[in-house]
Amino acid sequence: MAEAPTRKVQKGRTTDKAVAEHALSEIERKDLPAAPEAQAPAETPRSGPGFFTAVLAAMAAPLACGVLAALLIWLRYWPPLPGLMPGWLAWCMLAAMLPLAGRRLPLLAPAGALLGGPVLALTLAVNFKVVRVEGESMVPTLLPGDVLLVDLKGSPRDFALPGREIYVVEIPGQPHQPMIKRLAAAPGQTLSVKDGRLYADGEQVFPPPGLEGAASLHYGGYLEVGMVVGEERYFFVGDNPPASHDSRRLGTVSTAHITGRVVWRLKGPGGFGRLP
């Protein structure tokens, strides 16, 4: 048989096998770079609550108190207190500024609530006063010794409800002898008396509801037939007419001589609570 032809290899020329072995040896000699270790993903910093969310958290307490006060006023358990309005607004404003210092929600709500104490205390000290009832001019509604809370911001300009409200009134020329009387008529109203009852524009203002057994009123002094209350003037009477020194003898009272509106009885023979 004929032998298979052989392939001649030229001198100095490597074969394919030799090339492959040489490449492998070169790779083994080289230091391969170490594979990078798996790194944990970097933690993204936690972002705080948004500014408006922080403001609402800080204002939670004053807003809740405002809603509760509005509900109590609507239920007629708590009278409107205009003297507290500046303090409540200041409380809301200070609480709304808390997020400027930090936005930690767990701290904002308690901090906003704590602001209310000193703010409302200062408001009460500035816009309210306490008076004691002396004499029997307002019996049986107010008894001697009753201690009353007076809202100095309460003006009949805003709360003119004749027959339903009681005010502290200064006697012209006698600033140190204030009177506590019931509002009977506002500016422009016409007063009339029928069967011992006092009417303002035809609506009964005395005796007020719940005081039907009070003594009768009669014309006399400054109370004349068809009397019209002047501008910026108010007519006041006592719930116990025989013992009361009021507008029937002193005439109408100007706004400047009205100290404030009685809103609460704090203590005394009449007990604690809102006035009837």
Percentage above 70 pLDDT, the chain? 82
Indicate the pLDDT class of residue 9, thresholds 50, 70 and 90.
Answer: very low
Q: Which of 222, 247, 223, 218 is nearest to 235 (CA)?
A: 247
Same domain assignment for residues 70 and 192? no
Tokens 């007990």 identify what position? Answer: 271
Final residue belonging to a domain, choices 105, 127, 149? 127
- Name the more confident of 199 and 274: 199
For residue 24, pLDDT beyond 70: no
Query: Last residue of a domain, which of 127, 162, 186?
Result: 127
Are 160 and 241 members of one domain?
yes
Does residue 200 share a domain with residue 80?
Answer: no
110 in any annotated domain: yes
Same domain, 110 and 219: no
Return the HEC string of 202-231: CEEEECCCCCCCCCCCCCECCECCCEECCC
Number of domains in the chain: 2
pLDDT interval class at 62 (50, 70, 90): very high
**Residue where a domain terminates, one of 103, 127, 151:** 127
111-126 pLDDT per residue, tens? 999 999 999 999 999 9
* Residue 246 falls inside a structural domain: yes
Choice among 17-21, 113-117, 213-217 with the minimum mean pLDDT? 17-21
Backbone phi, then psi, for 144, in 5-degree steps?
-55, 130
- The residue segments making up the domain with residue 173 are 133-267
- Same-domain status, 162 and 245: yes
Q: What is the mean pLDDT of residues 82-97?
A: 95
Q: Domain check: are 185 and 249 in the same one?
A: yes
What confidence tens digit (pLDDT) does each residue in 242-251 have?
Answer: 999 899 998 9
Predicted pLDDT of residue 264 = 92
Confidence of residue 269 (pLDDT cuts 50, 70, 90): confident
Q: What is the DSSP letter of 28?
A: H
Alpha carbon separation from 185 to 100, 115, 131, 212, 263 (Å, rounded): 50, 41, 24, 18, 19
Predicted pLDDT at 233: 94
pLDDT over 70 (residue 160): yes
What average pLDDT score do residues 191-212 get? 90
pTM: 0.77
Has residue 103 got a pLDDT over 90? no
Q: Are residues 94 and 156 in the same domain?
A: no
What is the per-residue pLDDT across 126-147, written as a single tens digit (0 to 9) for each? 999 999 999 999 999 999 999 9
| pLDDT band, very low/low/confident/very high, at 72 (cuts 50, 70, 90) | very high
Q: Residue 115's CB: how many other CB atoms inside 10 A?
A: 21
169, 218, 168, 166: which is closest to 192 by C-alpha? 218
Gap between the Cα atoms of 92 and 59, Å rounded: 6
Give the span between the Cα atoms of 187 and 235, in whole angstroms: 9
pLDDT at 194 over 70: yes
Question: Residues of the chain with pLDDT > 90: what percent?
Answer: 57
SS3 content of the chain, % helix, strand, coil (to 5): 30, 25, 45
The per-residue pLDDT for 1 is 47
pLDDT greater than 50 at residue 149: yes
Residue 5 pLDDT greater than 80, yes or no: no
Query: Are 142 and 91 found together in one domain?
Result: no
Does residue 207 belong to any structural domain of this protein?
yes
- Report the pLDDT value the prediction gives residue 147, as an integer from 0 to 100: 95
Nearest-angstrom CA–CA distance, 217 and 220: 9
CATH assignment of the domain containing 177: 2.10.109.10
One domain for residues 121 and 141: no
- Chain segment 161-174, per-residue pLDDT in tens: 899 999 999 887 77
